[in-house]
Amino acid sequence: MRLCALVLVFALTACRAPTTAPRRPALDFDALPGPTTFSPEATLLERWAGPLKAAHDAGERGSFKGVADVDIAYLVHRVPNEKAAVVLLTGRTEPIRKYAELLDDLQRAGFSTFAMDHRGQGASGRLLPNPQRGYVVSFDDYVTDLHTFITTVVRPATSKKVFVVAHSMGGAVAVLANDLYPADADGLVLSSPMLEINTGAFPAPIASTLGAAACGASDGAAYAIGSSDFREETDFEKSTVTKSLPRFEWKRLLFNEAPELRLGGITWRWLCESLTASSYAEQLGRYSATPTLILQAGQDSIVKPGGQKRYCDAAPACQLTVIDEALHEHFAERDALRNRAVERTLKFLEAEVAR
């Protein structure tokens, strides 16, 4: 959502009629059948050196032209007699490769997976001469890329339902895309969706003002305050995203194995676009009839819970579940927490396939 259009966007939203869909009863995950334990962290590095990496790399790689002819990379794993297709959207900085565990869990459960790297990160085209800078011209570009992926790659490849599983920034993209293109997905699972960014020492209005000033005075391609090129995380005790040491170490290994996948901090343009987009996205729940599960991390310091709750309270087909001890990355957490996130994800998908 371009900043110059912010006032108009919010005005148009206020004039829209909300969905008249009735409120759905919440799923009782504990009463639903299905596995409750999944890939263990203790053997992750060993499995990555063997079957997990081999299976991940055996997927079908491809790319398509996104907005402004940027190459958007994707990875497909088809399973026999698929129950449905799952589109995976990562968070900011995350390449598809970081979701090898989750993709494997989904495939073992009978879902074909279609994973996409956002523009400017992973194996997709970078947007600036310095490829380390987290940048996007417009947040709308992420949304349009997703729509293109689903309509030109995913839907033609399956006759089954299509679901989107998205984390953090990917969650905001999924919400915005669902609003514009509600026929694209039959359901959403949103892990820590970026519906209210934690701007830290700068309250959101001040961060927005600083970002708007920087973007108005330039192209916004400079790093925002506190950002820089990629810096490897080495101190597990300071991790703000996971309590799992093996998964923390695996993430370090992935970026050392493939340094071209690294991404640094955010630019002013990314900040401008993302603050605007997330503020808009959190208001869209009342217009959505799409079945949605939000996984909220109880100890998240990256995004705030308020936006997620406001969205889900207003969306009649939304259910929010809190994993109390989790940090930001549910699917990279220690086993006790990750198992709950994967269990709820699969049970939600199974319930929607059966509808």
DSSP 202-232: S-HHHHHHHHHHHHHHS-S-SBPTT--S---
Contact call for residues 174 and 87 (beta carbons, < 8 A): no
Q: What is the per-residue pLDDT across 122-140, written as a single tens digit (0 to 9) for each? A: 999 999 999 999 999 999 9
Q: What is residue 225's predicted lDDT score, i.e. its pLDDT?
A: 86
Distance CA 353, CA 355 (A): 6
Q: What is residue 175's predicted lDDT score, i.e. its pLDDT?
A: 98
Is 8 strand, coil or helix?
helix
Topology annotation, domain 24-354: Rossmann fold (3.40.50)
Residue 291 CA: distances (Å) to CA of 8, 100, 164, 302 = 28, 25, 11, 25
Q: What is residue 199's predicted lDDT score, i.e. its pLDDT?
A: 81
pLDDT score of 308 more than 50:
yes
The confidence band for 203, taking pLDDT boundaries of 50, 70 and 90, is low
Flag the least confident range among 33-47, 124-138, 203-217: 203-217
Which pair of tokens denotes residue 316?
């009649």
Contact call for residues 186 and 162 (beta carbons, < 8 A): yes
pLDDT score of 249 more than 80:
yes
Picking from 254, 245, 279, 333, the residue whose alpha carbon sits closest to that of residue 93 is 254
Whole-number average pLDDT of the chain:
93
Helices 139-149 and 169-180 meet at what angle, rounded to 10? 70
Q: What is residue 13's predicted lDDT score, i.e. its pLDDT?
A: 60
Find tokens 């639903």 and name the residue. Answer: 32
pLDDT score of 90 more than 50:
yes
Q: What is residue 3's predicted lDDT score, i.e. its pLDDT?
A: 41
pLDDT score of 270 more than 50:
yes
Return all residues near 97 (Cβ < 8 A) that are at least 6 apart.
Answer: 56, 122, 254, 258, 261
Picking from 206, 208, 194, 205, the residue whose alpha carbon sits closest to that of residue 304 is 194
pLDDT score of 9 more than 60:
no
Average pLDDT of 291-313? 98
Q: What is residue 200's predicted lDDT score, i.e. its pLDDT?
A: 73
Helices 268-281 and 6-15 meet at what angle, rounded to 10? 10
Distance CA 255, CA 263 (A): 10
Q: What is the per-residue pLDDT across 214-229, written as a single tens digit (0 to 9) for each? A: 677 678 999 998 999 9
196 versus 208: which is more confidently predicted? 196
Cross-strand partners of 223: 267
Q: Reduced to 3 DSSP states, what percent helix, strand and coil does the chain have, rounded to the nearest 5?
A: 45, 15, 40
Put simply, whether the predicted model's pTM sits higher than 0.75 gets the answer yes
Neighbours of 238 (CB within 10 A): 7
Flag the least confident range among 33-37, 108-112, 130-134, 196-200: 196-200
DSSP letter string over 301-323? SSB-HHHHHHHHHH-TTEEEEEE
Q: What is residue 211's predicted lDDT score, i.e. its pLDDT?
A: 63
202 versus 18: which is more confidently predicted? 18
Q: What is the per-residue pLDDT across 163-176, written as a single tens digit (0 to 9) for each? A: 999 999 999 999 99
Q: What is residue 16's predicted lDDT score, i.e. its pLDDT?
A: 85
Average pLDDT of 199-220? 69
Q: What is the DSSP letter of 119?
A: T
Average pLDDT of 155-183? 98
Return all residues near 76 (Cβ < 8 A) that are at least 6 apart.
Answer: 59, 60, 61, 62, 112, 113, 114, 115, 153, 157
Which pair of tokens denotes residue 273?
């676009």
